[in-house]
């Protein structure tokens, strides 16, 4: 069931039900008040008649007729019975209405039980015990409250018509409110269902309020912008990565073909070396992508602890086998806090990031030497420094963008993805990386880890 129908159904049932209960309570209270009021009038009538009888010594037909006229005028269709101490009838008015409960009432009327009230259909019947001038009397009155019942009927019609009117108004108001509330939700749902990621993103318009609908619209618009960026990157990445992967694979195949035909030992050695470099670069990119995807998918926190300087020494030893002429110098800036040399993270990813930076030092250094400075005071800071061509200010802005390569990379192997992965890995570990041209011929990458 839709929200609109739920709002319409719930309010259309609950509010009329509450109104009906309130109206019924009002009607019952009024009915009770009518009955009590009429019974008091009956009691007063019995007392008045007794007083009249006690004042008149002789009760001829004219007097009785006059009393009956008074009864008819005061109470509608009333039967009045008066009894003496011995419960013998001493007076009965001229209205011919049976009182089948009179004997039972007389039996129960006593000095201790001076008042009895009951119903005979729509007639109110009351019995009372009265002491007047040292004498005891019993009175029974049965009468129909025509005026009271007419007011009850009128009240019943008024309440019924009011209830019907209120119900109709509530249904209309609920329909309007439910439509007012759910229309923005339906618009958002429709836009979500028909959202086209290939088209230009258009934010859903909303009023300048701060209700839940506006907040939902704002969040959805932000989500769609991020989704469009993600899809754009995905298409861009797939296009370029597939293109870039084809190139090294084609080179690998071409190198194998040349190796098969090459007879010169020196040229054969060079081709094999190129083959190793291309294969290793491709392998590192694929491994980094798989490891990053695994961590992002599992959402697991890092628990592994390792020393960053030991990791750098291991990478240096590995690169020494491939580039024996290149020298890495590692320098600790005093004072050294050995506890801060330990970091928590994924050692494979951190090793891939450090390897990429150290290989960049090798490829872009002009003197086959690089300095790695480790500082561990407030935060762990690693600086990779080497001499070589520096990047322009405009190139620095795009340094960590996908597939970007500066002018100093002309003629050098690479896919333009290495620093992107480095930046992502360092960011995943809560750190940062920046490039700083120290001088006209001196480059520095500074990594900060917490």
Spatial CB neighbours of 223, under 8 Å, sequence gap ≥ 6: none
- Name the β-bridge partners of 265: none
Please say if the pLDDT value at position 408 is more than 60: no
pLDDT, greater one: 432 or 259: 432
- Name the β-bridge partners of 143: 124
| Per-residue pLDDT, 160 | 92
CA 135 to chain centre: 80
441 close to 387: Cβ distance less than 8 angstroms:
yes
Distance CA 417, CA 405 (A): 9
CA 385 to chain centre: 51
Predicted structure pTM score: 0.43
| Per-residue pLDDT, 157 | 92
Please say if the pLDDT value at position 410 is more than 50: no
268 close to 397: Cβ distance less than 8 angstroms:
no
Distance CA 315, CA 319 (A): 6
DSSP class per residue in 279-293: HHHHHHHHHHHHHHH
* pLDDT, tens only, 197-235: 666 667 766 665 666 777 777 787 777 777 776 666 556
Q: Calculate the CA dihedral of residues 424, 426, 432, 435 and round it to 10 degrees.
A: -70
Report how far apart, in Å, the C-alpha atoms of 362 and of each of 272, 312, 326 are: 19, 14, 7
Distance CA 388, CA 203 (A): 47
| Per-residue pLDDT, 170 | 84
Distance CA 450, CA 340 (A): 8
DSSP class per residue in 132-198: ETTEEEEEEEEE--HHHHHHHHHHHHHHHHHHHHHHHHHHHHHHHHHHHHHHHHHHHHHHHHT--TT
Q: Which of 192-201, 212-221, 239-248 has the highest mean pLDDT?
A: 212-221
Nearest to 343 by CA among 433, 434, 431: 431
Report the percent of the chain where pLDDT is more than 90.
3
Please say if the pLDDT value at position 84 is more than 80: yes
Q: Residue 415: which pLDDT band, with cuts at 50, 70 and 90? A: very low
Lowest mean pLDDT among 238-247, 264-273, 429-438: 238-247
* pLDDT, tens only, 14-73: 888 888 899 899 989 988 888 888 888 878 887 877 777 766 544 454 555 555 555 554
Element (H, E) at 373: strand 369-376
pLDDT, greater one: 439 or 329: 329
Q: Which of 173-187, 205-219, 264-278, 421-435 has the highest mean pLDDT?
A: 421-435
Q: Is the preceding omega at residue 335 within 30 degrees of 0, hence cis?
A: yes
78 close to 142: Cβ distance less than 8 angstroms:
yes
Mean of the pLDDT values across residues 370-376? 88
Tell me the pLDDT of the chain averaged across its residues.
76
């Amino acid at each position: 069931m839709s929200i609109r129908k739920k709002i319409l159904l719930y309010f259309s049932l609950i509010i009329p039900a509450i109104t009906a209960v309130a109206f019924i309570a009002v009607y019952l209270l009024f009915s009770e008040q009518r009955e009590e009021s009429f019974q008091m009038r009956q009691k007063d009538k019995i007392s008045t008649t007794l007083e009249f009888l006690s004042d008149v010594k002789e009760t001829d037909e004219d007097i009785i007729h006059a009393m009956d006229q008074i009864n008819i005028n005061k109470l509608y269709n009333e039967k009045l019975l008066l009894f003496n101490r011995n419960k013998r009838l001493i007076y009965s008015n001229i209205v011919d209405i049976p009182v089948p409960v009179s004997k039972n009432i007389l039996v129960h009327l006593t000095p201790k039980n001076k008042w009895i009230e009951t119903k005979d259909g729509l007639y109110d019947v009351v019995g009372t015990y009265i002491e007047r001038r040292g004498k005891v009397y019993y009175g029974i009155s049965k009468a129909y409250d025509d005026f009271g019942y007419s007011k009850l009927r009128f009240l019943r019609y008024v309440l019924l018509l009011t209830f019907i009117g209120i119900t109709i108004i509530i249904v209309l108001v609920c329909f309007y409110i439910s439509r007012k509330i759910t229309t923005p939700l339906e618009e958002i749902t429709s836009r979500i269902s028909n959202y086209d990621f290939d088209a230009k993103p258009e934010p859903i318009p909303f009023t300048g309020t701060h209700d839940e609908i506006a907040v939902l619209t704002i969040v959805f618009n932000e989500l769609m912008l991020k989704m469009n960026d993600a899809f754009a990157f995905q298409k861009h990445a797939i296009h370029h990565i597939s293109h870039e992967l084809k190139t090294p694979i084609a080179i690998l195949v071409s190198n194998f073909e040349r190796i098969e035909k090459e007879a010169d030992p020196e040229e054969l050695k060079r081709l094999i070396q190129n083959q190793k470099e291309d294969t290793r670069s491709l392998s590192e990119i694929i491994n980094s992508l798989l490891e990053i995807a695994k961590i992002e998918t599992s959402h697991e926190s890092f628990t592994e602890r390792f020393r960053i300087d030991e990791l750098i020494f291991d990478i240096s030893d590995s690169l020494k086998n491939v580039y024996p002429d290149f020298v890495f110098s590692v320098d600790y800036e005093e004072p050294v806090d050995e506890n801060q040399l330990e970091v928590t993270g994924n050692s494979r990813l951190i090793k891939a990031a450090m390897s990429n930076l150290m290989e960049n030092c090798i490829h872009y250094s002009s003197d086959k030497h690089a300095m790695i400075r480790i500082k561990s005071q407030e935060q762990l800071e690693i600086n990779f420094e080497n001499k070589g061509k520096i990047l322009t200010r405009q190139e620095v802005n795009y340094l960590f963008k996908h597939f970007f390569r500066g002018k100093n990379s002309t003629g050098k192997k690479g896919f333009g993805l290495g620093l992107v992965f480095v930046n992502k890995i360092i960011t995943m570990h809560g750190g940062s990386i920046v490039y700083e041209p120290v001088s006209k011929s001196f480059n520095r990458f500074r990594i900060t880890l917490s």
